Amino acid sequence: MTVLLTLAILLLIAIAIWQMTKIFELSQLKTEVSQVATDKDNRYNGILMFVFLIFIYGITIFSFAKYSKTLLPVAASEHGVDYDQLMWVSFAIIFFVQTITQALLHYFSYKYRGKEGNKALYYADNDRLEFIWTIIPVIVLAGLIIWGLYTWTNIMDINDEDDPLIVELYAQQFNWTARYGGADNVLGEANVRRIDIAKANILGIDENDPNASDDVIVKELHLPVGRKINFKFRSQDVLHSAYMPHFRAQMNCVPGMTTEFSFTPTITTADMRQDPDVIDKVKRTNAIRAERAAAGEENSDPWEFDYILLCNKICGKSHYNMQMKIIVETEEEYNAWIEGQQTFAQQMEMQ
């Protein structure tokens, strides 16, 4: 195989040298072909500009009509509505400006195409026009930036108001672990230096911290609907990113420090499964799975919608597999689930 690759490379080099030699020979020949565009050339270029204008408008309309549902899933957190509104307003402004400027660009490219006998006019400057097309973008962008900062400040206002549930998400190659504060809703102290695999202390929790005894460590994230959640993020090894698309939440998990994010879930998993768009997606996905299973490509087990936590930083060879299921349920269902989990103290007693 190495010999074949070597011969192929040598052959390609020989062809490249041969072609460069021909180009050099042609460049030495005198030619009478004019390089100046004619009226016919300019007319064709103008028509092509209009064709391209129609094409980009057509592909834009088609993309929005067919793929708009894939831009973002349904917002399932309180701040998600503001997040989406800001995004759609930004999109609307961008596409409005793009539509106007592209139409003018292509129209004037055709209208003022070169013609024999026409003399091009050039204006060195126009203070009024420059002021107009400078001040308008400044005002629009300033408005978007102020609105964006206001929205971001509200999203990142992490506090203890409204009795938030405290949850830690711990990232490591290539899985997630969730830790709840237990009955006192206070997380025990933890540090990666205290990790003891032999004792199953995989999060490095301080066993002498009284707040740690009732902590609950799980591999599936349960959240009560309508209750504020204060998340704390840690990483054991490399930079990860906790991404929960339905909740419009993303936060880096940085080794050696704790980062935070807060949101309030608004739609339970059961209610989300009744959403027409979700039902349609589930049907289409299961149809594709059935086709692939029939071809022997993958398991045919039907898929059912679940919220999901992903890693949004490429963290290694199994990055794609770094996921955690999220279940949003009623307060009663959550309380029943959390009461059925072992505490950190109980786990240590079993060692």
Q: What is the pLDDT of residue 289?
A: 77
**What is the C-alpha separation between 241 and 254, in angstroms, rounded?**
8
How confident is the chain (351 residues) per 10-residue block, as mean pLDDT? 72 80 65 65 82 86 80 85 88 87 84 73 78 88 89 82 89 91 85 74 80 86 93 91 92 91 92 84 79 69 85 89 92 91 77 66
Give the C-alpha separation, 286 to 304, whole Å.
9
- The H-assigned helical ranges of the chain are 2-27, 39-67, 78-111, 127-155, 269-272, 276-294, 331-339, 344-349
Going by C-alpha positions, the residue among 163, 328, 196, 338 that lies closest to residue 249 is: 328
Please provide residue 194's backbone torsions phi and psi, each rounded to the nearest 5 degrees: -95, 5
pLDDT, residue 329, reads 93
| pLDDT for 179 | 93
Domain extent listing, the chain: 43-63+72-113+126-155, 165-349
Taking a C-beta distance cutoff of 8 angstroms, is the pair 204, 214 a contact? no
For the chain, how far is it from start to end, CA to CA, in angstroms?
55
Read off φ and ψ for residue 54, nearest 5 degrees. Answer: -65, -40
DSSP state letters, 151-213: HHHHHT---STT-PEEEEEEEETTEEEEEE-GGGT-PPPB-GGG-BGGGTBTT-B-TT-GGGT
Q: Provide the pLDDT for residue 300.
A: 64
* Rounded CA separation 74/68 (Å): 12
Largest Cα separation within the chain, whole Å, is 96
Q: Is the dihedral of CA 201, 206, 208, 213 positive or negative?
A: negative
The predicted structure's pLDDT at residue 229: 92
According to DSSP, the residues that pair with 343 across neighbouring strands are 216
Give the pLDDT confidence score for residue 121 in this predicted structure: 73
C-alpha closest to that of 222 among 338, 74, 322: 338
| DSSP secondary structure letter of residue 343 | B
The pLDDT score that the predictor gives to residue 27 is: 62
Task: Given CATH 3.40.50.2000, say whether it is the number of domain 165-349.
Answer: no
Q: What angle is formed at CA 51 by the lines to CA 45 and CA 57, rounded to 5 degrees?
A: 135
pLDDT at 35: 65
pLDDT of residue 38: 76
